[in-house]
Amino acid sequence: MKRFLAFSLLLAALGSSGLACSANAQTVTDGSDKKASPFVKNTLKTLTKRFPDTHPFFRGITTHANAEKKQVVCGEISLSSSKTPEPDSFMLFGATEGENAPIVYEPREIPASIDSREVNMWINHGADLADLEEMGCVPEGSYRQYGDKLNQVLQNKKHSATR
């Protein structure tokens, strides 16, 4: 604790002496943020602030323009506490220039059975995937596959309930 306090005081002193101290709040694991636009940098900062208890890792950052000629950023974020996050810890994200907030989609396997109290949660979860598909961040048809699987689970529940 004493070392941390001494280090903090040293950094404060360096900052007040005119030396610039910069720290990245996020890490891009694959260098895909090279030549990132201010919009992309702001999106990464926004996502970092959304998850203040973690040190987010990003990868696969791409940009393109949508039909309205607005910039869209897509990529993956991991909230893993490991210094080298596992590949399956990454979640999809996307943001459109001028829109409210980036969308993060955590791919979760739909269970074989869903409690009726959880149906709305799964529907809302799929809405994030639909938004990412509309942005061009996931392949076309991703939301339909998700919806078909969810409907199949719900239909199986109805059939077993009527027996």
pLDDT value at 62 more than 50: yes
Choice between 149 and 21, residue whose per-residue pLDDT is larger: 149
Where are the chain's structural domains? 24-101, 108-163
Q: Please state, in angstroms and as integers, the Cα–Cα distance from residue 120 to each residue in 22, 51, 106, 150, following that order.
A: 43, 24, 16, 11
**For residue 11, which amino acid is it?**
L
pLDDT digits (tens, 9 = 90+) for 71-112: 999 999 999 988 889 999 999 999 999 988 999 999 888 998
Q: Read off the pTM.
A: 0.74
Instruction: State the average pLDDT over residues 120-134.
Output: 93
Q: Among 23-37, 89-103, 144-158, which is the least confidently predicted range?
A: 23-37
A 10 A CB-CB count for 56 gives 22
Q: Which residues, in sequence order, are CB contacts of 114 under 8 Å at separation 6+?
A: 122, 150, 153, 154, 157
What pLDDT, on the 0 to 100 scale, is given for residue 26?
Answer: 65
